[in-house]
Amino acid sequence: MPRFDLALFDLDGTLINSLPDITAAGNHAMRTVGRPEITEQQCRFYAGQGLPNFIITALGPDHQDLYDAALAAHLGYYRDHGGTLTRVFPGVDGLLDRLKEAGLKRAILSNKPHAATLGDAERLLGRHAFDAVIGHRDGYEVKPDTRSATEIIERLGVEPDRVAYVGDTAADMLTAKRSGFYAVGVTYGFRERAELEEHGADAIVDDAAGVGDAILGTDR
């Protein structure tokens, strides 16, 4: 019998490599409001904290008056062009199939805006028929707030100690630990191993196959 009933995944930096599209949308927003463009390396650290915080950080403290225009530009660009450069990480399709075959439910919880989360999940991972997909919604705090995580497990009828949460950032590890989940950190995403260790990862893996091993309790 598997140790877990639900594998709950972050999206960007965990299931999909969306960094080129996030960078392109961010730079469109910065150009629109006359601010300097940002690098892909900067986006590694800006991404994952929710789009409002991304825009606030990219603008800098002295230019928050441009927030509304920059946010609208980013949303419009991602709506029209998001996904063009995004790819599923190697091994993820096989991982999701493996978890399904083992009898686990699979779900996504992202800090990306909810509509974009649904769109990316359907376009890139639609064949996997996730049991729940939730992004950041109005009236909710971003991760590591646990409200949306709790909503998912209640909807699916899963106890916290039967959930493995997989992500690539401090926010993901904190969400897992605060929710009572098993925290699996991935090093192939946007952040470094040290960040995952510092924020309480129970397991840290280097590829999608390692995620499956950590969740299903097998060694390669």
Query: Quick check: bond before 144 cis, omega within 30?
Result: yes
Instruction: Give every CB contact of residue 59 below 8 A, 6+ residues apart in sequence.
Output: 30, 33, 35, 66, 67, 70
Report the percentage of the chain scoring pLDDT > 70.
98
Q: Report yes or no on whether pTM surpasses 0.85.
A: yes
> Would you state the pLDDT for residue 2?
80
3-state secondary structure of 49: coil
Q: Tokens representing 76?
A: 């419009």
pLDDT band at 219 (very low <50, low <70, confident <90, very high): very low
pLDDT tens for 46-86 read 988 889 999 999 999 999 999 999 999 999 999 899 789 99
> Would you state the pLDDT for residue 121?
96
| Phi then psi dihedrals of residue 17, to 5 deg | -95, 95
Best CATH choice for the domain 6-17+87-216 from the list 3.40.50.1000, 3.30.465.10, 3.40.50.620, 1.10.10.10? 3.40.50.1000
> Would you state the pLDDT for residue 82?
79
Can you tell me the mean pLDDT for 10-34?
97
Where do the structural domains in the chain lie, given as residue ranges?
Answer: 6-17+87-216, 19-81
